[in-house]
Chain A
Amino acid sequence: MIFSDFQVKELDCKDSLLKELNPHVERTILSYNQEDAEDCDAEKQSIFNDIHLNRFKSRNQLINTWEGTVTDVDGKSIFAKLYDTSDGTFDEFEFEFNDLKDSDQNMVKEGALFFLYLGYYTDNRGTKMKSSNIEFRRFPTNLDEDDINEKLDAINALNFDDLWE
């Protein structure tokens, strides 16, 4: 959808909030939609994460999961900080572009978020081996009117201006 259509339609009912926030909202929506993201067929981030976790678990026995953020990129090397979901502590992680799927390689930027799964993989012959998988996280793209309304409602629900003395 084109955001300007939404803008006109919605201004009638959410006028004050939208008048104030439209420039920011529009810029954000545009940035959400400006690039395609492969594999992003889920509407919600949590669903997206579950899909990848379940895809991994369907062929693997999970040993550990981390959430990571890219802290530094140097040539072929990528440096990241990991949150170990098993105990709430932080790890440091160094890996290479070659460790990633082709579709994830263009997502490696400072601050990008990903999941790292570690487990046992069982092949078709029943052989068990250790396996790891890195999945970069994606924003939902192509937000529709309901998605945008949901975001605006979330902003409105903050009652932000009333929080300050």
Chain B
Amino acid sequence: MGINTDHTIPPSPTQFEFSLLGRGSAYGESIVLHLGDNKWGIIDTCLNPKTKIPIALEYLNDISVPFNNVVFIISTHWHQDHVTGIASLVEQCKKAEIYLSAALNCAEYKCFIGFNGDIPSQFNPARAFKKLIDYIKKSNRRLKTVVQDKVLFRGQIAGKDLILTALSPNDATINYFQQTQLKELYNITGGIEKSITKPEPNLQSIVSLLTIENFGVLFGADLELTKDAELGWQGVLQSKMISQKASIFKVPHHGSENGFDKDIWNRLLTSNPNLGITPIKTGRTILPNPTMINELLNYASNSHITTNPYTDDAPKHSHDVRRAIKSTKLNIKKLSYKLGHIRFRKDFSACTLLSCELFGTASHLSELVVV
């Protein structure tokens, strides 16, 4: 478990920071980056269910960073555990550029949002998008599309160039998503109100690479492998901007088997890299599964996870609800929403080593007890 409880010490202006934040195994994840000189970036968002505040903003508040110092927000793909509270996040970070996958900028998606954006449901991702659109229209800000090899941010930290580049989605993925996959959005069975599970939004994912001289961090979003040589992770390898291997990797898709390919990872990562993982629990499926926990540990001994999904330390329902659940024999269990925080920092003004700190429920992957 995370040995530190106080994550409120901010980085120095010359310290790069990559913070991976997660709440339990059902709420989502968010990444906070310090890009030098108090400039910050955020990748994806989820809410603290108690405060309804994006967890990235709660962390920035904890280390006394003004939200106007956030220079970009990237929404990697439109899955519930990556987009909750995005309208609020964008509204609070008034100076941030807003990046979305180019796969979403199409007539099919426009129609989808128009039809489904007002359906009241906590599980309706179109509603979150509609809220973002409503805010964007009011604010006169604009959304930026992301395609493979687009430079998303360029700055300096301790006099060294810091560059963040998108490695996906490539043209083939965008076309595939728009022309083939999006059509499945309309295969809605009449009479049933469904949350959207297909097309698999993970394909939209923006994978990005941050480089500072010979140091690299790869953000894998939820991108998966496909059978098509041009799509998914195979498509990432087509990028012309893979200038170096990354020593820190935000593991894609919660450490699932369909995000793991040793050959592809070897081409993108240094040997024994630092891995950051957020777990997920959906029905009977828990990621990473025991097989993948071993695979990941074999691949990288420095693997960390924001919480243990197998020993979810869940809060309890209120007394009345608990009694009623018991007497009606309903099989309901609350899911944990405790914060887990993995923080990497490296000072580029001196030859310092990379530090890794764990807070809250975060732990080394080897500490997971699979029940």
Q: Which of A6-56 contact B (CB under 8 A)?
A: 20-21, 24-25, 27-28, 31-37, 40, 45-46, 49
Known interface pairs A31-B186, A45-B120, A95-B331. Does A88 touch B283 (Cβ–Cβ under 8 Å)?
no
Residues B334 and A89 in contact, CB atoms below 8 Å apart: yes
Q: How would residues 103 to 123 of chain B score, 1 for a CB under 8 Å from any chain A CB and 0 otherwise? A: 001011111111101111111
**Residue of A at shortest CB range from B321?**
A64
Q: Which of B117, B136, B142, B186 is A154 in contact with, Cβ under 8 Å?
A: B117
CB distance from A8 to the nearest CB of B (A): 20
Does B318 count as interface, using CB distance less than 8 angstroms? Answer: yes
Q: Report the separation of the CA atoms of residues A36 and B52 in the bound assembly, to the nearest whole angstrom.
A: 38
Q: Which of B142, B190, B282, B337 is A32 in contact with, Cβ under 8 Å?
A: B190
Residues B197 and A158 in contact, CB atoms below 8 Å apart: no
**Residue of A at shortest CB range from B51?**
A88
Residues B143 and A164 in contact, CB atoms below 8 Å apart: yes
**Residue of B at shortest CB range from A88?**
B49
Residues A40 and B191 in contact, CB atoms below 8 Å apart: yes
Known interface pairs A28-B111, A92-B335, A111-B194. Does A35 touch B189 (Cβ–Cβ under 8 Å)?
yes
CB distance from A163 to the nearest CB of B (A): 5
Greatest chain B CB density within 10 A among A89, A109, A165 is at: A89
Residues A159 and B143 in contact, CB atoms below 8 Å apart: no
Q: Which of B123, B144, B189, B193 is A45 in contact with, Cβ under 8 Å?
A: B193
Residues A79 and B186 in contact, CB atoms below 8 Å apart: no
Q: Which residues of B contact A33 (CB under 8 A)?
A: 190
Residues B192 and A71 in contact, CB atoms below 8 Å apart: no
Residues A151 and B114 in contact, CB atoms below 8 Å apart: yes
Does B352 count as interface, using CB distance less than 8 angstroms? Answer: no
Q: Which of A28, A69, A82, A130 is B324 in contact with, Cβ under 8 Å?
A: A130
Q: How would residues 38 to 80 of chain B score, 1 for a CB under 8 Å from any chain A CB and 0 otherwise? A: 0000000000011010000000000000000000000000000
Q: Which residues of A contact B334 (CB under 8 A)?
A: 84, 89-91
Count, A-B residue pairs, CB within 8 A: 201
**Residue of B at shortest CB range from A120?**
B324
Known interface pairs A31-B190, A35-B189, A139-B192. Does A82 touch B115 (Cβ–Cβ under 8 Å)?
no
Q: Report the separation of the CA atoms of residues A97 and B112 in the bound assembly, to the nearest whole angstrom.
A: 31
CB distance from A113 to the nearest CB of B (A): 5
Residues B193 and A92 in contact, CB atoms below 8 Å apart: no
Known interface pairs A112-B194, A113-B193. Does A31 touch B187 (Cβ–Cβ under 8 Å)?
yes
Does A100 count as interface, using CB distance less than 8 angstroms? Answer: no
CB distance from B75 to the nearest CB of A (A): 13
Q: Which residues of B contact A158 (CB under 8 A)?
A: 110, 113-114, 117, 130, 133
**Residue of A at shortest CB range from B197?**
A111
Does B188 count as interface, using CB distance less than 8 angstroms? Answer: yes
Does B1 count as interface, using CB distance less than 8 angstroms? Answer: no
By secondary structure, the A interface counts as: mixed
Q: Report the separation of the CA atoms of residues A4 and B53 in the bound assembly, to the nearest whole angstrom.
A: 46
Known interface pairs A21-B111, A109-B194, A139-B193. Does A95 touch B330 (Cβ–Cβ under 8 Å)?
yes
Q: How would residues 120 to 143 of chain A score, 1 for a CB under 8 Å from any chain B CB and 0 otherwise? A: 100000000011100011110100
Q: Which residues of A contact B195 (CB under 8 A)?
A: 69, 111, 113
Q: Which of B115-169 contact A (CB under 8 A)?
A: 115, 117-123, 130, 133, 136-137, 142-145
Q: Which of A93-130 contact B (CB under 8 A)?
A: 93-95, 107, 109-113, 116, 118-120, 130
Residues B121 and A67 in contact, CB atoms below 8 Å apart: yes
Q: Which residues of A contact B331 (CB under 8 A)?
A: 93-95
Residues B121 and A88 in contact, CB atoms below 8 Å apart: no
Q: Which 4 A-B residue pairs are closest in the complex by CB-CB distance? A: A37-B191, A155-B114, A72-B283, A71-B283
Given A35-B190, A88-B50, A132-B324, 7 more contacts at CB 8 Å?
Answer: A71-B285, A72-B284, A90-B335, A92-B335, A109-B194, A155-B113, A158-B117
What are 18 A-B pairs at a CB distance below 8 A? A24-B107, A24-B108, A31-B188, A34-B189, A79-B283, A90-B334, A90-B337, A91-B333, A113-B193, A118-B324, A138-B191, A141-B191, A152-B114, A155-B115, A158-B117, A159-B137, A163-B133, A163-B137
Residues of chain B whose beta carbon lies under 8 Å from any beta carbon of chain A: 24, 26-27, 49-50, 52, 105, 107-115, 117-123, 130, 133, 136-137, 142-145, 183, 186-197, 281-285, 315, 317-318, 320-321, 323-325, 327-328, 330-335, 337
